[in-house]
C-alpha cells in the first residue's frame, strides 16, 4: 500500500472519532485539534492496528502528534 492508500484508509477510520467534523490535514494534531482523550486514542489506535495488522506501542504513539506523522508511521510499520 502506498502513502496515498494508507492516507485514504486512515481518513475513513478516523471519521467516527472526529466528532466535531474537523477538516483533517497532515498538520492536524490529535490532542489539540481533535481533542482525543486517552480512551479515544486507545480505540482509534486499535482500529488502525486491526486494519493494517500492525502494532503501535504507546512509546511509538508518544512520537506521533499530527495526522501526517501517523500516516508516515503506519507506512513505515507496514513495510517492516
- For residue 9, how many other CB atoms are within 10 A of its CB? 16
DSSP string spanning 51-75? HHT----HHHHTT--BHHHHHHHHH
CB of 19 to another protein, least distance (A): 15
Question: Of the two residues 4 and 55, which places its CB atom closer to another protein in the complex?
Answer: 55
Interface positions with another protein (CB under 8 A):
37-39, 42-43, 46, 49-50, 53-55, 57-60
User: For residue 76, what is its C-alpha cell?
Assistant: 513505515
Question: Of the two residues 4 and 38, which places its CB atom closer to another protein in the complex?
Answer: 38
CB of 33 to another protein, least distance (A): 19
* Length reported for the chain: 80
Determine which helix (DSSP H) or strand (DSSP E) holds 44, and give its type and residue range.
helix 38-52
CB of 2 to another protein, least distance (A): 22
Amino acid at each position: 500500500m502506498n502513502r496515498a492508500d494508507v492516507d485514504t484508509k486512515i481518513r475513513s477510520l478516523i471519521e467516527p472519532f472526529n466528532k466535531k467534523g474537523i477538516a483533517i490535514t497532515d498538520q492536524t494534531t490529535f490532542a489539540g485539534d481533535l481533542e482525543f482523550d486517552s480512551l479515544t486514542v486507545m480505540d482509534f489506535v486499535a482500529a488502525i492496528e486491526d486494519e493494517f495488522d500492525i502494532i503501535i506501542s504507546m512509546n511509538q504513539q508518544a512520537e506521533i502528534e499530527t495526522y501526517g506523522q501517523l500516516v508516515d508511521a503506519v507506512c513505515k510499520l507496514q513495510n517492516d
